[in-house]
Amino acid sequence: MSRQIILIDCPDAVGLIHRITGVLEQRRLNIEANHEFVDASTKHFFFRAEVAPADGPVVAERVRTDLEAVLPAGARVRVTRDERRPIVVCATREPHCLGELLLLDAVGELPGRIVGVVSNHDLLRSLVERFGVPFTHVSHEGVARGDHEAMLAAAIDAYQPEYVVLARYMRILSPEFVARYAGRMINIHHSFLPAFAGASPYRQAFARGVKLIGATAHFVTAELDDGPIIAQDVTPVDHADTPERMAQAGRDVEKLVLARAVRLVLEERVFVHGRRTVVME
């Protein structure tokens, strides 16, 4: 019988763990792994558990309503199955982030399934099709932004993904498009945000003489490069590095950070809390 993942966030209160585990015991759910965290600044409680039924199938909706009954008002409870979730990857010209995700999927190391790749250029088709993944080209040339986004959304929705991953998809998306996939779209930005948001971050970094460059994976929101951060990493550079060499070094960081963020989200390890995230690894 498949494991289930229980996710709870709610105002903090005394005895929450006791209440939660009491419900799980009544429902004969064995806890195989769990994490909890209290944000002291906001007095908010977060809980993630992987559970397995001891006696037979359990109705997730009943577990959810039982938990809500013992938790403070405003509690958010989700009960999901531990399964590979479908994702669509959007890319433009650069293959490194897309290629990393395709490879991880191909060898079974991605806790999800890439069901399709959508691009506004046709350059990456051969790479994608080597992995047996469908590729859809939605050109933006000579097309109004609204019309292009309508075609892009139709191409994505045809695959019925749970998440959309922007693997260096170099188009600014409208607030309306972002709202369509609110909380379900992950982007990689080639900078250690909040530094050097927007275009040409490696040239910005070079101009400032930084000694570290990085990459940031975050949820997409209407404001450019400002969504809740999921994962980040850096690599050292020095005065001898040109913007081109910085970009080359940065590509290695970008693909690893994006892959890590996608894995964390697909494994239901990320809670969004305002502009921040709580990540339970």
The one catalytic residue among 9, 105, 225, 241:
225
39 classed as catalytic:
no
Written as one letter, the residue type at 229 is: I
- SS (HEC) of the chain: CCCEEEEEEEECCCCHHHHHHHHHHHCCEEEEEEEEEEECCCCEEEEEEEEEECCCCCCHHHHHHHHHHHCCCCCEEEEEECCCEEEEEEECCCCHHHHHHHHHHHCCCCCEEEEEEEECCCCCHHHHHHCCCCEEECCCCCCCHHHHHHHHHHHHHCCCCCEEEECCCCCCCCHHHHHHCCCCEEEEECCCCCCCCCCCHHHHHHHHCCCEEEEEEEECCCCCCCCCEEEEEEEECCCCCCHHHHHHHHHHHHHHHHHHHHHHHHCCCEEEECCEEEECC
Q: Provide the annotated active-site residues.
A: 225
